[in-house]
């Protein structure tokens, strides 16, 4: 296994070198001003060739690019959000993927500072900063990997997935998120790099969460991550993407596509906590299908980023399917968290629940945007939506845009509950009367507010999330 890994590393190095020589790729910005811009079919061809991709993938990329070029911006949000995207610069993004820092010393001070305060161990910090692949946990990971391989589990980065399991990927890719689903999905389909490919064979229960950062040749969540997870019949898996430490991106645009397939009786949970630096526009299309008696759960935490637009969806395709989304968003100064969920009840006897919690602070804005759809014939359906907004001051905002579209009447129960609240002075007074300082009191209330999300996380993530929230709130009180 290790020799194989070295080979891959070598290839990657070669790609970069080659690419630099061929296209004059440099990180200095002068180059951007002087070169041909935008993503051209030629560039896509080159990338695909360098990655040694099969012909079908090249065609997939090229047709996606065509779709992208012909599509307008989404209309459901005010267009100003998209004005900031400089598609011209995509030349740079598409070719390089996410540029990692090669040295801890190059990581910006504020990011380093946050790592320190989070108490992230040195090794992990190095890894998170993209310094080296010599992550200590790799040893642990290898054991895990062996165990999983024995059971037939596939857990690879998407590129390797395409190389080794092309037929499987070809069968599933873009089945839930078609290339033309939205402009950004099209762009991702054309330019994707990074992400995971996971396959769990029938009946296999993966006991410990699969964490993206234990993956071979893990890239930090890429600019255009592409992930497919397939939980075959009766299998079960919990996949965790990202980490709570801030993901610094020099590039200001992240657009991912995640597709989850839960076959009959399968259980699939996808957890992500994203904490992009505050310059990033984060647009991710997350969609899942749940077959007979299968369960899909999205646990979605969004901090950081300038703008987030994310609406994890579950398509409840067969009787007995269950879908669940639990999400939290924290919109701080200058940030906008536009998040929500979609549940499509396409079969009878299906259930879904959405719990969306948002916190707005220092003038930040959180929105809940959701869709509940019950198709004709989908009787005996139960769906529950709860969205709660917490405003930490008088000048932050929250709003909700729920859409409920029910086409079946027989035994359909739709519950929708929305609350907007502030932390009451009385509550803070009560905590303070116990000796607890005001900022700690406020933090306790906020952590209580998102507890429904936190309790779903593995312990270390829950602890880190709480600490992260503390950092977000730090210095916000007089």
Nearest Cα neighbor of 84 from 309, 301, 256, 247 is: 309
Q: Which is nearer to another protein, 278 or 447 (CB)?
A: 447
Nearest Cα neighbor of 253 from 43, 387, 91 is: 91
Min separation Cβ 387 and another protein, Å: 15
Q: What distance in Å separates the CA atoms of residue 336 and residue 342, rounded to the nearest whole number? A: 19
Computed on alpha carbons and rounded to an integer, the radius of gyration of the chain in Å comes to 22
Q: What distance in Å separates the CA atoms of residue 235 and residue 214, rounded to the nearest whole number? A: 21
Q: What distance in Å separates the CA atoms of residue 446 and residue 310, rounded to the nearest whole number? A: 22
Q: Which is nearer to another protein, 16 or 427 (CB)?
A: 427
Cα dihedral across residues 129, 133, 136, 142: positive or negative: positive
Task: Quote the Cα angle for 338-343-349, to 5°.
Answer: 160
Q: Which stretch binds another protein (CB under 8 A): 218-226, 327-335, 401-409, 436-444?
A: 436-444
Of the candidate residues 37, 99, 382, 432, the single one contacting another protein (CB under 8 A): 432
Q: What distance in Å separates the CA atoms of residue 28 and residue 180, rounded to the nearest whole number? A: 33
Q: Which is nearer to another protein, 58 or 436 (CB)?
A: 436
Is 89 a binding residue for another protein by CB under 8 A? The answer is no
Nearest Cα neighbor of 329 from 299, 286, 371 is: 299
Residue 316: alpha-carbon gap to chain centroid: 21
Min separation Cβ 296 and another protein, Å: 25
Q: What distance in Å separates the CA atoms of residue 80 and residue 98, rounded to the nearest whole number? A: 25
Is 462 a binding residue for another protein by CB under 8 A? The answer is no
Is 447 a binding residue for another protein by CB under 8 A? The answer is yes
Q: Which stretch binds another protein (CB under 8 A): 88-96, 119-127, 366-374, 446-454?
A: 446-454
Is 445 a binding residue for another protein by CB under 8 A? The answer is yes
Nearest Cα neighbor of 335 from 287, 392, 408 is: 392
Of the candidate residues 88, 405, 438, 474, the single one contacting another protein (CB under 8 A): 438
Is 427 a binding residue for another protein by CB under 8 A? The answer is yes
Q: Which is nearer to another protein, 111 or 436 (CB)?
A: 436
Q: What distance in Å separates the CA atoms of residue 249 and residue 254, rounded to the nearest whole number? A: 9
Is 444 a binding residue for another protein by CB under 8 A? The answer is yes
Is 435 a binding residue for another protein by CB under 8 A? The answer is yes
Is 429 a binding residue for another protein by CB under 8 A? The answer is yes
Nearest Cα neighbor of 352 from 332, 331, 372 is: 372
Q: For residues 304 and 201, is the Cβ–Cβ distance under 8 A?
A: no
Is 434 a binding residue for another protein by CB under 8 A? The answer is yes
Cα dihedral across residues 211, 213, 215, 221: positive or negative: positive
Of the candidate residues 167, 433, 459, 478, the single one contacting another protein (CB under 8 A): 433
Q: Which stretch binds another protein (CB under 8 A): 36-44, 54-62, 73-81, 445-453?
A: 445-453
Min separation Cβ 23 and another protein, Å: 52
Nearest Cα neighbor of 152 from 269, 71, 225, 237 is: 237
Q: Which stretch binds another protein (CB under 8 A): 43-51, 117-125, 438-446, 468-476?
A: 438-446
Q: Which is nearer to another protein, 292 or 432 (CB)?
A: 432
Is 451 a binding residue for another protein by CB under 8 A? The answer is yes
Instruction: Tokens for 97, please give them.
Output: 């993927």
Cα dihedral across residues 446, 450, 451, 456: positive or negative: negative
Q: Which is nearer to another protein, 332 or 355 (CB)?
A: 355
Point out which residues pair with 326 in neighbouring strands: 299, 355
Q: Which is nearer to another protein, 173 or 359 (CB)?
A: 359
Q: What distance in Å separates the CA atoms of residue 473 and residue 201, rounded to the nearest whole number? A: 43
Q: Which is nearer to another protein, 168 or 462 (CB)?
A: 462
Is 450 a binding residue for another protein by CB under 8 A? The answer is yes
Q: What is the size of the binding site for another protein (CB under 8 A)?
A: 24
Q: What distance in Å separates the CA atoms of residue 406 and residue 129, rounded to the nearest whole number? A: 47
Min separation Cβ 304 and another protein, Å: 22
Q: Which is nearer to another protein, 10 or 430 (CB)?
A: 430
Min separation Cβ 82 and another protein, Å: 36
Is 431 a binding residue for another protein by CB under 8 A? The answer is yes
Residues of span 397-426 touching another protein by CB under 8 A: 424-426
Q: Which stretch binds another protein (CB under 8 A): 74-82, 108-116, 217-225, 432-440?
A: 432-440
Is 83 a binding residue for another protein by CB under 8 A? The answer is no
Burial of 340 (0-12, 13-18, 19+ CB in 10 A): buried
Residues in the chain: 478
Q: Which stretch binds another protein (CB under 8 A): 24-32, 186-194, 208-216, 444-452?
A: 444-452
Q: Which is nearer to another protein, 78 or 426 (CB)?
A: 426
Instruction: Tokens for 131, please give them.
Output: 């310094």
Which residues sit at the interface with another protein, rule CB under 8 A? Answer: 424-427, 429-438, 440-441, 444-445, 447-452
């Amino acid at each position: 296994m290790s020799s194989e890994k070295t080979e891959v590393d070598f290839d990657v190095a070669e790609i970069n070198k080659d690419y630099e020589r061929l296209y004059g790729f440099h990180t200095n910005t002068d180059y951007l001003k002087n070169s041909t811009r935008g993503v051209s079919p030629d560039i896509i061809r080159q990338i695909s060739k360098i990655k040694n991709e099969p012909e079908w993938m090249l065609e997939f990329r090229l047709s996606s690019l065509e779709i992208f070029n012909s599509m307008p911006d989404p209309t459901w949000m005010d267009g100003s959000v998209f004005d900031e995207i400089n598609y011209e610069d995509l030349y740079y993004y598409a070719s390089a993927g996410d540029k990692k820092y090669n040295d801890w010393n190059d990581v910006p001070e504020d990011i380093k500072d946050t790592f320190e305060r989070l108490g992230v161990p040195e090794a992990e910090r190095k890894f998170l900063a993209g310094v080296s692949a010599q992550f200590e946990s790799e040893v642990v990971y290898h054991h895990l990997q062996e165990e999983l391989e024995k059971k037939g589990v596939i857990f690879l980065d998407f590129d390797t997935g395409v190389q080794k399991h092309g037929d499987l990927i070809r069968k599933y890719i873009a089945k839930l998120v078609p290339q033309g689903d939205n402009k950004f999905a099209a762009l991702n389909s054309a330019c994707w790099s990074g992400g995971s490919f996971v396959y769990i064979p029938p009946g296999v229960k993966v006991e410990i969460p699969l964490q993206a950062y234990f993956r071979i040749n893990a890239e930090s969540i890429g600019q255009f991550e592409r992930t497919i997870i397939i939980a075959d019949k009766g299998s079960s898996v919990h996949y965790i993407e990202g980490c709570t430490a801030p993901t610094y991106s020099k590039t200001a645009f992240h657009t991912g596509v995640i597709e989850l397939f839960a076959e009959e009786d399968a259980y699939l949970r996808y957890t992500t906590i994203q904490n992009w630096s505050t310059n990033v526009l984060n647009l991710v299309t997350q969609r899942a299908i749940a077959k007979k008696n299968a369960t899909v759960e999205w646990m979605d935490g969004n901090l950081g980023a300038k703008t987030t637009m994310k609406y994890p969806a579950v398509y409840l395709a067969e009787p007995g399917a269950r879908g669940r989304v639990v999400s939290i968003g924290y919109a701080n100064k200058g940030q906008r968290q536009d998040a929500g969920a979609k549940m499509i009840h396409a079969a009878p006897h299906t259930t879904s629940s959405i719990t969306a919690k948002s916190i707005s602070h220092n003038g930040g804005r959180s929105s809940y945007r959701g869709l509940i759809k019950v198709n004709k014939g989908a009787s005996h359906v139960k769906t529950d939506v709860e969205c709660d907004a917490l405003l930490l001051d008088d000048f932050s905002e929250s709003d909700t845009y729920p859409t409920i579209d029910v086409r079946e009447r027989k035994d359909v129960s739709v519950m929708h509950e929305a609350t907007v609240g502030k932390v009451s002075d009385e509550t803070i007074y009560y905590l303070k009367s116990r000796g607890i300082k005001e900022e700690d009191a406020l933090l306790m209330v906020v952590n209580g507010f998102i507890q429904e999300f936190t309790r779903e996380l593995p312990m270390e993530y829950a602890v880190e999330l709480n600490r992260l929230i503390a950092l977000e709130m730090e210095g916000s009180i007089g």
